Chains A and B, each alone.
Chain A
Amino acid sequence: MMWRALQVMMEKEFKQILRDTVISRMLFVMPLIQLAVLANAATFEVKRAALWVVDLDQTPVATAMVDRLTASGRFYIAGSGMSPAQGERSLLDGRATAVLTIPQGFARDIGTSGRSTVQLVLNAVNGSQAGVTQGYATQIIARYAAELGARGAGPQGQSPTARPSVRPMVEVRTRGWYNASLDYRRFMVPGILVQLITMIGTLMTALNIVREKEAGTLEQLNVAPLSPGTFIAGKLLPLWIISLGVFSAGLLIAVFGFDVPMEGSLLLLYAGAALFLVGALGVGLWISTIADTQQQALFVTFAVLMVYILMSGLFTPVRGMPEWVRTLAQANPLLQFIALTRAIMLRGAEAMDVWREFLALGLIGPTVLALAIRQSRKSVA
């Protein structure tokens, strides 16, 4: 009889979710939008920076270097002139985000000593953007210098042994941990995928149960000889299956739409997702026990998810946080699952490599769920 009740419960849940046009549409569209928008929006890539050029050298070598910068697509010339003061002003009034100053004798110095300096001043208000811009410029100029060296001669026909190099001197607070060549989308997509199923799993669980509270149907179910276990299983299993479905959809989009590699075992990834969702749904269940209306549930869910996401290392690196936060963050299932997903998808990690994450998820999920079930029994009886 219990199995029959569970089956009927689940059937009812699926029917209701699929009939709710808003929710079912969201389930299909949300992965697409989140991945498409967030994956692109959440990259630290700087598309085209406005560059102001103060070329005091006026030699073909200097001009060629500026051409390299613009040809890379990373920079466009916002303006140029012979006055360093004018360059500074362009930075101040926002016409340019970077000012490149090429000193007089730049080409000559390369020709004679093989070394020279240029100055790159950056608007560092947005630190990460400045860092990336600096990275691009440094890279392009270094490549150009190497090319000059490979050609074996400066414009004045020096001996091939004198290896010239351009050493840009950059007056910015540098951020050493940036790797400008990293493909952020690849890196971000698995993280966003995880955040997506967290949102869907937690929010849907919380809203679903609170909706029955609001509608009064929970009271009707409570007088039925339906054990709390059957009720909770009947509620959570469909949502668990649906969340895994959304995860699959997101995975397809990630792999085929964003060229995110799937280096590791799909089975291992799903095992992680299944385990992770136990905790995510558990949090939803817990929220449903403390909220009486869907509005409250929504509010609490977002408060919880915010902490989750901020402490997951997805958008803000946990490394930069105080010691105690870093320790606490280890208990964040989102952080563990993001690490797991990245490891499996990008690095092709195997079970032996990610046992720590599995252990953490295996501890967190069931604990959260057990606490939530205890809480829900209290609030029902």
Chain B
Amino acid sequence: MPDPVVQIENVSKAFGATRALDQIAFSVSAGELFGLVGPDGAGKSTLFRILVSLLEADRGVVRVLGLDPVGDLWALRRQVGYMPGRFALYGDLTVRENLEFFAAVFGTSVEAEYTSIAPIYQQIERFADRRAGALSGGMKQKLALCCALVHRPAMLFLDEPTTGVDAVSRREFWDLLGTLRDSGLTTIVSTPYMDEAMRCDRVALMQTGRILAIDDPTRLGARFPRPLFGVHTRDRRRVLDLLRTLPLVTSVFPFGDIVHVSTARVTAHGDDLSDAALAEHLRDGLVAAGLGDAEVRPIDAGIEDLFMELMGTESTGAAS
């Protein structure tokens, strides 16, 4: 494995009594697309702000591109691109003017960097003379990405770049990130969306300032510790309530039309049950309650199931 581009050890940060980050540690290799996944308040933005030298950690070691964000602040700022959590460009300047401004602030020009930003800029170039404030959400994010890339940074930090953006634009944006990854640019991106997490090389699941797990997103599901079943039903509310009362059931979460149910494998009598037997057990319970139309099927756990499991909280609301 090549030398890590970002290395973080035991980083903690508190705001008053709130522990925003608690002993965070991970490293990111060159060329990796690394995702920070977690709900609002998980500490993702705070971590970004520490990594890009806007905030100082209370404790721990941070190295970005081998530089210390506190001591080597100016050297670091020249080499990283950062897209803050909300749209942070000048709405009253045009697309072109925003780009030119940020290029100049970084000591370069749009002309000089054109080839490196062209793949993205071409998608918004026809709006070059439109004020940035008048762009759609997706276009704004593309412009922000352009501005973050205009000085050809060695590494990119994107804080929830697709929050508040429509589904199509989200996909387009992630396609661009894929292109950037293919060109070898190391990127750390945060997102609250699990489908986006799947497009990262590795993700760190974050919750209230701590990292719950770090892995390839496709492998994270396999860490789910118990059998998992999907229950298809029309009468979701009653099925949810009933499942929670059945023996062996450990968690019940609604995922759109499907209800995800995890169970213990070993009964009170010490019998170790197979998936099929457990599914049968659930089905029997549903039929006995007059919910015989529900279908029960063993399923593979996804990243979201693991997330719910690690968070250790049971939610009754829609989780996706």
Contacts and interface: CB of A to CB of B under 8 A. Distances in A.
Partners in one complex: yes
Interface of A: 1, 4-5, 8-9, 12, 15-16, 19-20, 215-217, 219-226
Interface string B76-119: 01101010111111111100010011101111000000000000
Given A12-B93, A215-B91, A216-B84, 19 more contacts: A5-B105, A8-B101, A15-B92, A16-B93, A215-B88, A217-B89, A219-B84, A219-B88, A220-B88, A220-B102, A222-B54, A223-B52, A223-B77, A224-B77, A224-B105, A224-B106, A225-B105, A225-B106, A226-B105
Report the 3 A-B pairs with minimum CB-CB distance, sorted nearest first: A216-B88, A8-B104, A220-B88
Contacts, number: 62
Interface string B55-92: 00000000000000000001001101010111111111
B104 A223 contact: no
Contact of A219 (B54, B80, B101): B54
Nearest to B159: A219
Nearest to A19: B92
B contact patch SS:
loop
B101 A12 contact: yes
A216 B104 contact: no
Contacts of B82: 220, 223
17 contacts: A5-B104, A8-B100, A8-B101, A8-B104, A9-B105, A12-B90, A12-B93, A19-B92, A215-B88, A216-B84, A216-B85, A216-B86, A216-B87, A220-B102, A223-B80, A224-B105, A225-B77
A8 B99 CA distance: 12
B105 A8 contact: yes
B233 interface: no
B53 interface: yes
A contact patch SS:
helix
A325 B78 CA distance: 51
A180 B93 CA distance: 54
Interface of B: 52-54, 74, 77-78, 80, 82, 84-93, 97, 100-102, 104-107, 147
Contacts of B105: 5, 8-9, 221, 224-226
B84 to A, nearest CB: 5
Contacts of B77: 223-225
A190 B219 CA distance: 76
A114 to B, nearest CB: 77
A28 B209 CA distance: 51
B92 A225 contact: no
B89 A220 contact: yes
A217 B54 contact: no
A210 B111 CA distance: 32
Nearest to B70: A381
Contacts of A5: 104-105, 107
Contacts of A19: 92
Contacts of A219: 54, 84, 88
Nearest to A221: B105
Contact of A1 (B90, B92, B107): B107
Contacts of B92: 15-16, 19-20
B70 to A, nearest CB: 10
B107 A217 contact: no
A15 B107 CA distance: 20
B52 A4 contact: no
Nearest to B97: A15
Contacts of A220: 82, 84, 88-89, 102, 147
A5 B88 CA distance: 19
A15 B77 CA distance: 26
A226 B101 CA distance: 12
A18 to B, nearest CB: 10
Nearest to A226: B105
A12 B105 CA distance: 11
A4 B147 CA distance: 18
Most buried by A among B54, B78, B89, B104: B104
A379 B251 CA distance: 47
Nearest to B55: A381
A1 B109 CA distance: 12
A15 B93 CA distance: 8
Nearest to B105: A224
A261 B107 CA distance: 49
A81 to B, nearest CB: 68
B107 A4 contact: yes
Most buried by A among B85, B88, B93: B88
A225 B54 contact: no
Nearest to A17: B92
Contacts of B84: 216, 219-220
